[in-house]
Structures are given as structure tokens and as C-alpha cells.
Amino acid sequence: MKKWNLVIDISKCHDCNNCFLSCKDEYFENDFPPYSVAQPRHGHRWMNIMRKERGQYPKVDVAYLPIPCMHCDDAPCVKSAKDGAVYKRKDGIVLIDPEKAKGKKDILSSCPYGAIWWNDEKTLPQKCTFCVHLLEDGWKQPRCVQACPTGALQVLFVEDAQMKKIRESEGLEVYKPEYKTKPRVYYKNLYRYTRCFVAGSVALQDTDECAQGASVTLKKGQRKVIAKAETNNYGDFKIDNLEENSGSYTLEIRYPEYKKQSLSFNLGKSLNLGTIFLSRA
């Protein structure tokens, strides 16, 4: 049968918080029995946007990681909750029963993603419901997806076999796969948050001009080629999607009529190598 999935493209998220605000607008002071009671005005972020800055000035970028409930197929919250306080529907949506879960604060710690929030006034754990009340009313997507102005959020209602093909063709990943919870929230360009880059600029020492079109080769150690790039019209290059704390690398730069330049370094976090000057051959 078809199941609900959410795809989040990290490269398209600009931290506008429309998803968060639309969620707050939908659930603050609104009960939707039997699926949810009103969200409090403050504190809860059912769509919580994490931020990460990479690199060093002036080669810096920022990535944003929206984290809702992952609606896991092997959900720890479902396993830990008793008497059906948390349950998973056949369409893939995980829900907290607002009656059965009342007073059960221990449900919060069962989620490794920190996607469950505590309502002090209602003494109740709460989280994203995938706007199930709207879906059952004929909507094709939750409020957060509808409100996203950049298309960073996309909902797919497909069978698992088709979702597997989409994952493979679009290079989708899950966040924190080591948790082994089988999330139904998938990420595109996740490397921009979880991995790192090496960047720099290339200039010609004798003319003090940018070296446009210089060939840049990144090697692991001295031999294995990891990636290749070419400097732009400002002499800049950036090689992304590298593993953090992955050890020693060598960067080789070639430019016609100039000597080859080699730099060795250890890669921890994203690294700006600064301006690399080439001298005449």
C-alpha cells in the first residue's frame, strides 16, 4: 500500500521558518481529536531547524537542517510506549495518542532525534502529526510543505518499492542512519550539513591575477584521487562532500606555463586553504 514520505532538500532551505510558523499557526489553540491537542504558544518546535556553519572566512557557508518527527518504521517511541500511547498507522504516520500518553514524560527520551516535546500545561508529550487531520480531509500535503517557498520540502505518497527507486535515483539519505530506526523522512544534499569541504583561491605570483581555469586535484595521501575541480573566474575552488576527521590529503594545482603546486594537510572540519600563489615554470 502507499505510505507517506517527506523529502527535504538541504540546498534549498534558507531558514525562513515558514514551515515552523505554519505548524504553529495550525496547532496553536487548535485541537484535532483524536490525533492531537493544542500546541503551546512557546517552546515547541515540531519542525526544528538546526544550523551549521562550515569553513573559515572568507570561504564560509551555512546549512540548515529541518528536523520533524521522522515517522520511523522501527520507531523507538512506539516500542517504549505502553498501551498504544504511541502507534504507527499503516500509511506510515506515527502518532501520539493524546489520551493514552497523558502524563508519560518518559516518551520524550525514547526519541533519538529529540523530536518529541513536553506540554507542561496538558502534561502531554507532543510532536509532528504529519497534519494527518488535513490529509484525511483531502489535503495532498501537510502545512509545512504547502508553506515552503523554495520547494525544500516535498511529500511523496507512494509504495515502498517506488520510494526505494526514488531514493536511489535522487541520492536521498536518512539522517543519523546509525540509529537504525528506518525513518520516512529523507534528505537530499545532506552532505552540506554532515560532511565538510576544502576550498581556496589560486593566483599568479608574477602578475597578481586570479588563475581562472586552474586544474585542482585532491588526493588521499599521495596517490588516490578523491576529486577534481577547476578554478572559476575569481580563481576560487571548492571540493565538497568530504568526510570530517578523515586524515591526510594532498592538493595538486596545475596551470599552463606555471609550476605545479602541491599542498599537504590534515582534514578535520571544513578548511579554507587561503590564497595559493603559482610561480612561472
The CATH number assigned to the domain holding 81 equals 3.30.70.20
Given this model, what pLDDT does residue 206 score?
94
**Quick one: CA dihedral 168, 173, 174, 178, positive or negative?**
positive
Given this model, what pLDDT does residue 223 score?
79
Residues 101 and 117 in one domain: yes
Residues 143 and 223 in one domain: no
Residue 89: other Cβ atoms inside 10 A: 13
Given this model, what pLDDT does residue 152 score?
98
Given this model, what pLDDT does residue 275 score?
96
Residues 239 and 269 in one domain: yes
Residues 54 and 145 in one domain: yes
On the question of pLDDT at 221 being above 90, the answer is no
Residues 167 and 253 in one domain: no
On the question of pLDDT at 222 being above 80, the answer is no
Of the three residues 193, 213, 241, the one that is the final residue of a domain is 193
Say which residue the cell 557557508 belongs to.
Answer: 61
On the question of pLDDT at 126 being above 80, the answer is yes
Mean pLDDT of 184-192: 98
> In total, how many domains does the chain have?
2
Strand partners, 251: 218, 263
Counting residues of the chain whose pLDDT is more than 90, the rounded percentage is: 98
What is the tens place of the pLDDT at every residue in 226-264? Answer: 999 999 999 999 999 999 999 999 999 999 999 999 999
On the question of pLDDT at 270 being above 80, the answer is yes
Residues 134 and 21 in one domain: yes
On the question of pLDDT at 23 being above 80, the answer is yes
Residue 215: other Cβ atoms inside 10 A: 17
What is the tens place of the pLDDT at every residue in 129-176? Answer: 999 999 999 999 999 999 999 999 999 999 999 999 999 999 999 999
Predicted structure pTM score = 0.92
Mean pLDDT of the chain: 96
Given this model, what pLDDT does residue 82 score?
83
Given this model, what pLDDT does residue 142 score?
97
User: What is the domain extent for residue 177?
Assistant: 2-193
What's phi and psi for 141, nearest 5 deg?
-160, 155
What is the tens place of the pLDDT at every residue in 42-62? Answer: 999 999 999 999 999 999 999
Lookup: cell for 45 = 518546535
CATH code for the domain in which residue 245 is found: 2.60.40.10
Binned at pLDDT 50, 70 and 90, residue 64 comes out as very high
Residues 19 and 151 in one domain: yes
Contact 181, 112 (CB under 8 A): yes
Strand partners, 267: 247
One-letter amino acid of 41: R
What is the tens place of the pLDDT at every residue in 86-95? Answer: 999 999 999 9
